[in-house]
Structure 1
């Protein structure tokens, strides 16, 4: 039941474009016997079908500008290769700390960062 709830909540967050991994990864680590590498790997596998549904929904609403997305997709693929190559060499403990620091920094920025008018 816990996995269904984690999936449901991460799907909602993913559909909003926030990133379901912020729910999925900590949820898997806290409520299962998975380590950081396994949780992040599962997140990647789960991301594809969830992102496909969200992509179709946002595309129908004309919320996707491919001229903006194309260079991000291209460089993101390169970055994903580099990042995953680095991540698999890290210990699960260190990777968990890097992930936690990233979430903390993003949370602080969203809370205290410069607001657009």
Structure 2
């Protein structure tokens, strides 16, 4: 049961990441759109490409060296995230740029409300 949940969680995170470029994208995506004139699609694609190599590897290493990484869970999440990222990216490219901007904004708003009102 746990294996399936890890894969499902990774899949959901991958879809969300591929769809709206979450992570550092909360800051980078709007900056690329508003400050540099990127389209929403270009901003999300660029942000995803930026985050892949350096951040995940170095952050994981820092946590792993302190004993804070569950390798089994991380591997299963990665499998789902890998597949979900592909499908989220495909889904994102099927939307118009204005629609994708609205989706991105709604996701940010939901996260903000949750963070503000959670205990």
Which residue in 2 is equivalent to 1:30? Answer: 34
Unaligned stretches of 5+ residues in structure 2: 1-21
Counterpart of 1:11 in structure 2 is none
1:63-78 paired onto structure 2 within 5 Å: 63-78=68-83
- In structure 1, how many angstroms separate the alpha carbons of the residues matched to 2:27 and 2:65? 26
Counterpart-to-counterpart distance in 2, 1:53 and 1:36: 27
Q: Cα distance, 1:80 vs. partner?
A: 1.1
Shift of 1:92: 0.9
Partner of residue 110 from structure 2, selected from 105, 109, 113: 105
Give ranges in structure 1 of 5+ residues lacking alignment.
1-17
What CA distance in whole angstroms lies between the structure 1 residues aligned with 2:28 and 2:99? 19
Which of 21, 29, 40 is the equivalent residue of 2:44?
40
Report runs of 4+ in structure 1 exceeding 6 Å deviation: none
2:56 to 51, 55, 67: 51
Deviation at 1:50, TM superposition (A): 2.3
Q: Does 1:61 align with 2:66?
A: yes
- Once the 2 structures are TM-superposed, how far is the Cα of residue 85 of structure 1 from its aligned partner? 0.8
SS of 1:90's equivalent in the other structure is: coil
Q: TM-score, normalised by structure 1?
A: 0.75
Aligned length: 97
1:62 Cα deviation after fit = 1.8
